[in-house]
Amino acid sequence: MPGDAAALNRALGQLSADMGDKHRATDADVARFCFGPSPVFHALLAQTGDGTIVGVAAYSPFFSTVYGAVGIYVSDLWVDDQTRGKRLGQRLLAAVRAAGMTAWDARFIRLNVYHDNPRALAFYTRIGFTAASETQYLTLAGDAFEALEAQA
């Protein structure tokens, strides 16, 4: 719901802080890109009974010709320190799976994990994620992204 944009952005900001990343998204960005007329991502918030946010998952669909199916890309997954170890991360991923299957008939989940985050890697491996040795995650951003316009 659009009213959740600020809370969602706070949770995503906490993930950024925990990872040592700069958090550039504003509440308006989250409202536009998650709740606007053409959403480019979806999110699930986990809250305690008193409304305290203890987890978040942000995700988007994509199509894979290799799998011949829609996949779900989980761009962000965060669980509060005090809640870790209580299977909330796994429950959030299960909820993402269910939402993706309902909305897009999704058949797999893909995500990235930082090399310097062995705890997250162990969690993902424990629930069945496998590393893809045949591919490498690449990013085009900043000046290189802008320069691409001249190549058109």
Other beta carbons less than 10 A from residue 12's beta carbon: 21
Residue whose entry in the numeric block shows the structure tokens 């959740």: 4
Q: What is the spatial distance between Cα 87 and Cα 44, in angstroms, rounded to a whole number?
A: 15
Helix (H, G, I), strand (E, B) or coil at 26: coil
What DSSP character marks residue 4? G
**pLDDT, tens digit, 9 for 90 and up, residues 89-105:** 999 999 999 999 999 99
Residues of the chain with pLDDT below 50 are none
Q: What is the spatial distance between Cα 71 and Cα 111, in angstroms, rounded to a whole number?
A: 10
3-state helix vs strand vs coil in the chain, percent to 5: 45, 20, 35
Query: What residues contact 15, with CB distance under 8 A and at least 6 apart?
Result: 21, 56, 76, 77, 78
Q: What is the pLDDT of residue 151?
A: 80
Q: What is the spatial distance between Cα 100 and Cα 92, in angstroms, rounded to a whole number?
A: 12
Q: What is the pLDDT of residue 86?
A: 93
Q: What is the pLDDT of residue 119?
A: 92
Q: What is the pLDDT of residue 27?
A: 96
Hey, what are 129's tokens?
A: 């994620």
Structural domain spans, the chain: 2-151
What DSSP character marks residue 145? H
What DSSP character marks residue 7? H
Q: What is the pLDDT of residue 88?
A: 96
Q: What is the pLDDT of residue 95?
A: 97
Just give the CATH number of 2-151.
3.40.630.30
Q: What is the pLDDT of residue 59?
A: 98
